[in-house]
Amino acid sequence: MSTGYLTDTKGRRRPVASAPARRRAGASPLRQMDWILTAAVLALGGLGGLLVWSATQSNTSLVGENSTAYLERHLLNLGLGLVLGVAASLFNYRLLRAYAPVLYIASVLGLVAVLSPLGSVISGARSWIVLPGGFSIQPSEFAKVALVVGMAMILAEKRDAESTPGGSLVAQALALAAVPLALIMLQPDLGTALVVVFLVLGIVAVSGASARWIVGLLVLGVAVSTFALTSGVLEDYQRDRLTSFIDPNSDPQGSSYNVRQVFIAIGSGGLTGKGLLAGPQTQGSFVPAQHTDFVFSVAGEELGLIGAGGILLLFTLVFWRAYRIAVGAEDLFGRLVAVGVLCWFVFQAFENIGMCLGLMPVTGIPLPFVSYGGSSMFANLIAVGLLQNVHMKRYA
């Protein structure tokens, strides 16, 4: 790609499309896409397919006769998600801002529906709407997309690039975030709620809002966590899940059983792993939810440090590209969208891998791109599409 660089006042280089490049971009905006980001995401999704396959192929109660059933559906999700992502990347920027309120209201309605009798309880949380035909959707995944766009829109509204959002705008943005956050907490889906909190914090911080807001939000977060763990608001099993990571041997058959089994799987993988489809822990289904929330344990056991570390590297690539896109965004809206997606991916990946490694409490959230699950895959790829959209806007 014939892209040149300009050095800005801070001495940082900024890519600037050359005239021929602009011309070609006009012909096909996809050629301006951040291919490193796309490649990393596709690699994660493909790797995820292999891991999901390995995690399910020997479990006949899941896959029945067709041992590749989950692999196929994962790839289908990936394909559909790519279509959604491409659509999101090509969506007109201004139209996106115009549709933000619609997106937001739709997602809030989804979250309300989930709490109504339409919702189904899976693993202790009322997070799902089961549709006929074996499909189910998880509205909280899409709510993250809506929240990123919605907050970016408010905080970037009617401002030139160099001003910072005032108190009322920040308050509006936080109010906007509070509604879905509360609904997610009611499910209760703590993992997603935490991701939302960090996503909100990241957007508010990068918007340039006064430091008091950020400190205030952090204090509030600590206070709410303390309250949640010490008061009776959480069910016992939830509190156990949150604290069992501290001592995985505390209750070998209870909450810490999962953590212990995940440790054993990852630890026994060693440097090179047991080989795909050859991990005894995985093939014996010792780890619960190993094709969804604990998919990282499959990588750890069967692909070893090389595979698990590879996944971490791919995520680092994604983070790096998202960061570059945020830094190079044409306007504040684009930057805040990019930062929102970055914070979302970073925290969700950290929380998911961290709980597999015993660094974080166990909360039921999927590993972006890798875990099996349609809603999550779609929402993540839409978010990647938004990143590409922000990236390509520069060349529009």
Burial class of residue 271 in the structure, from the number of CB atoms within 10 Å of its CB (0-12 exposed, 13-18 middle, 19+ buried) = exposed
Binder of other proteins out of 3, 18, 163, 226 (CB under 8 A) = 163
Question: Which lies closer to other proteins via its Cβ, residue 111 or residue 201?
Answer: 201
Nearest CA among 344, 358, 353 for reference residue 313: 353
Question: Which lies closer to other proteins via its Cβ, residue 114 or residue 298?
Answer: 298
DSSP β-bridge partners for residue 129: 119, 137
Does 359 contact other proteins by CB under 8 A? yes
Binder of other proteins out of 78, 111, 264, 377 (CB under 8 A) = 264
Q: Are 365 and 348 in contact (CB under 8 A)?
A: yes
Q: How far is the CB of 360 from other proteins (least distance, A)?
A: 10
- Here the tokens at position 296 are 């990282």
Does 79 contact other proteins by CB under 8 A? no
Binder of other proteins out of 315, 369, 372, 395 (CB under 8 A) = 315
Does 258 contact other proteins by CB under 8 A? no
Question: Which lies closer to other proteins via its Cβ, residue 250 or residue 268?
Answer: 268
Binder of other proteins out of 89, 107, 207, 388 (CB under 8 A) = 207
DSSP output for 39-96 = HHHHHHHHHHHHHHHHHHTT-HHHHTT-TTHHHHHHHHHHHHHHHHHHHHHHS-HHHH
For residue 32, give the DSSP letter: G
Binder of other proteins out of 83, 267, 275, 396 (CB under 8 A) = 267
Does 332 contact other proteins by CB under 8 A? yes
For residue 33, give the DSSP letter: S
Torsion angle of C-alpha atoms 51, 45, 316, 314, degrees rounded to 10: 70
Q: Which residues bind other proteins (CB under 8 A)?
A: 10, 161-164, 202, 205-208, 261, 263-271, 280-281, 283-286, 300, 304-305, 308-309, 312, 315-316, 319, 323, 326-327, 329, 331-332, 335, 339, 342-343, 346, 350, 353-354, 357-359
